[in-house]
Amino acid sequence: MKKTEYAIVDIETTGGNAGGSRITEIAIIIHNGTEVIDRWETLVNPQKEIPLPIFALTGINDDMVRNAPIFEEIAEEVLQRLEGRIFVAHNVNFDYSFIRHELAQAGFTWTPKKLCTVRATRKIRPGLGSYSLGNLCNTLDINLEHRHRAGGDADATAILFSRLLLWDENGEIDKMIKKSAPDQRLPPNLPPEDFEQLPEKPGVYYFYDQYKKVIYVGKAVNLKKRVASHFSGHNINPQRQHFLRDIHAISYEVCGTELLALLLECTEIKKLWPTYNRALKRFDAKFGLYHYEARNGYRYLAVGKLSKFQECIESFDSEYAGINLLLGLSQQFEIDPRFCKYGLPADGEAPQQYNMTDLPEVQVHNEKVQNALDQIQNNRPSFALIDKGRTADERSCIWVENGHFYGMGYLPMDSTLNDIEELKDYITPYKSNQYIMRLLYSYAQKYPAKVKFSELNQ
């Protein structure tokens, strides 16, 4: 039976992602599981300018690579040295993404088994302060010459790998090189136990950076599968590469249903505003219907932009929707249009001027405005959505009060309620918005058996 061989690789590049950067140097060391049996390295012409920060880090400049081969010229030799061997690197997915991309550009398909020496060291020598190559070499007394050059880093990685083979009493390396090993796909800075603890239940998960700041919030029907999907595939765009490198920890919260997970995700994104979330940040209402009383005692209704410091009666995604509602109220309750403000005039358009003589009686007018406000209030239902809980011993509950999301929580299965509004004792309040209310109204319409109305709406 053929003995397993390993190709220990290090590369230098013009930047941090395979999609927009190129390889400037590559070193490949062949290890037979006992010792190094071959070594090869070369500079590579990236066919683009090497940025000054990269030159400062590696010492490789444009003059050094000008007469070096382009990757396409060495692609076949690189493939021959890698083919049939376990691909080993420190932070393996970085080197793998570049080499796989460059080989694909040259017309070659390459899908190896991989081994990350960052992950292997975490498993075999847990508890070290840092697992960067430089710090590991200092901690483990490994000679590291020519730091940030492909040959020097590959030599140090080869020594580290040899020691890991000797220290690996529990066969961790054999487990890791199986193609199905899930932690081979994990981001380099994420402890495997953070992923392994994830349950296969609905919920919300949080990704943290090295400073313990939340950088992404997501919801899932199956937490483990959804989180794993972030790490699968071979997408090499810069945003994804930076995203994966920034993940240093994961936490989660189990939810009773997918709907509760979606609501929690939405509220957490609004509260935490994570760097890598995009979609749900767009769903903020932009306009509101306001009510105020002027010094002359007359009450006004107005549509305007939402203010953080002013309560509105109703919120809207567009100014058009707000104006339509106000026009309808004005006609239905015969409110004098002079006391309705329909947003700001268009650019260059003068504000509409009204003759403010012959005004209606204050009390009569204000009663009409109050009737309009009462209708808005009365059209807002209060209801609960009762569904399954996180365990068989509880139920989940979502409470909507006067047309606004009040909050959600869980109550014991054996609890007795004399009034549906007693659910509020079990609920954690959250902030409402139009996106959440659209979700809740849609869900209530689809599953009417789960809706319990307040007696106020009977």
In the chain, what percentage of residues exceed pLDDT 90?
A: 57
The confidence score (pLDDT) of residue 346 equals 47
Give the 3-state DSSP-derived string for the chain, with helices as H, strands as E and coil as C.
CCCCCEEEEEEEECCCCCCCCCEEEEEEEEECCCCEEEEEEEECECCCCCCHHHHHHHCCCHHHHCCCCEHHHHHHHHHHHHCCCEEEECCHHHHHHHHHHHHHHCCCCCCCCEEEHHHHHHHHCCCCCCCCHHHHHHHHCCCCCCCCCHHHHHHHHHHHHHHHHHHCCCCHHHHHCCCCCHHHHCCCCCCHHHHHCCCCCCEEEEEECCCCCEEEEEEECCHHHHHHHHCCCCCCCHHHHHHHHHCCEEEEEECCCHHHHHHHHHHHHHHHCCCCCCHHHHCCCCEEEEEEECCCCCEEEEEEECCCCCCCCEEECCHHHHHHHHHHHHHHCCCCHHHEEECCCCCCCCCCCCCCCCCCCHHHHHHHHHHHHHHHHHCCCCEEEEEECCCCCEEEEEEEECCEEEEEEEEECCCCCCCHHHHHHHEEECCCCHHHHHHHHHHHHHCHHHEEECHHHC
Superfamily of domain 192-282 in CATH is GIY-YIG endonuclease (3.40.1440.10)
Which pLDDT tens digit goes with each residue over 340-365?
A: 988 755 444 444 566 677 899 999 99
CATH 3.40.1440.10, the chain: domain bounds: 192-282
Over range 204-229, report the average pLDDT. Answer: 94
Higher pLDDT, 27 or 229: 27
Which pLDDT tens digit goes with each residue over 87-101?
A: 999 989 889 989 999
Which pLDDT tens digit goes with each residue over 76-85?
A: 999 999 999 9
Average pLDDT, the chain: 87
The confidence score (pLDDT) of residue 71 equals 96
The confidence score (pLDDT) of residue 437 equals 87
The confidence score (pLDDT) of residue 357 equals 78
Which pLDDT tens digit goes with each residue over 1-55?
A: 358 899 999 999 998 878 788 999 999 999 999 999 999 999 999 999 999 999 9
316: tokens are 């809207």
CATH hierarchy code of domain 6-185? 3.30.420.10
CATH 3.30.420.10, the chain: domain bounds: 6-185
